Amino acid sequence: MTPDHLSPERYEIVAIASSAGGVTALRDLLGAFPADFGVPIVAVQHLDRRHRTVVAQVLGRNSALLVKLAEDQEVIKPSVVYMAPPDYHVLLAAGGVLTLSQSELVHFLRPSADLLFESVAAVYGPRVIACVLTGTGNDGAMGGSAVKSRGGTVVVEARATAEFPGMPRAAVATGNVDFVLALEEIAPVILGLVNTEDHS
């Protein structure tokens, strides 16, 4: 039997948003997940669009998961972290297909966490965990509300550990957040959600 407060199906994707201070936060978060984590992770980290990025290599050195830049029309796989490339929005389509887009900036940003979160909410509904980490501005707040409206779960980094609390604060201000946690608490909670939601 499925408790009333749980989704009837297990979580199928984790989407992460971060900006200023985010590479360090992502390194610590992704480094806490085991190699058999079992679900795909798609992450938006705001990066300088004028330069090639080595963020996937940097994060991969500290993670048991495979970390790579997302590719257009790629099908996501469990235990892989897909990073949005600089200057590209990354969206999810039906069947777990990644789509890269250089459509207009959203709140002066490309990639946009809001667009990522809205797309995963539309495809996966209650089977999404969205996570907002350190950063300035409000990217991820509107998208987090979209995830919550479809029955998904929203996790936000607490101000105490967020190097730049703007994005977490904006997400919390929507009232559509399930957990506000110190950075070191986020991975254990996400792992617990993913593992306890398996009703197969």
Q: Is the pTM of this model over 0.85?
A: yes
Confidence label for 4 from pLDDT (cuts 50, 70 and 90) = very low
Amino acid in position 59: L
Helix or strand holding residue 58 (H, E): helix 55-60
Whether 67 shows a pLDDT value over 70: the answer reads yes
3-state SS assignment for residue 27? helix
35, HSE (Cβ side, Cα atoms, 13 Å): 2
The residues annotated with a catalytic role in the active site are 19, 46, 139
- Give the CATH superfamily of 13-196: Methylesterase CheB, C-terminal domain (3.40.50.180)
pLDDT value, residue 47: 78
Q: In this predicted model, which residue has the larger pLDDT, 53 or 32? A: 32
Q: Mean pLDDT of all residues in the chain? A: 91
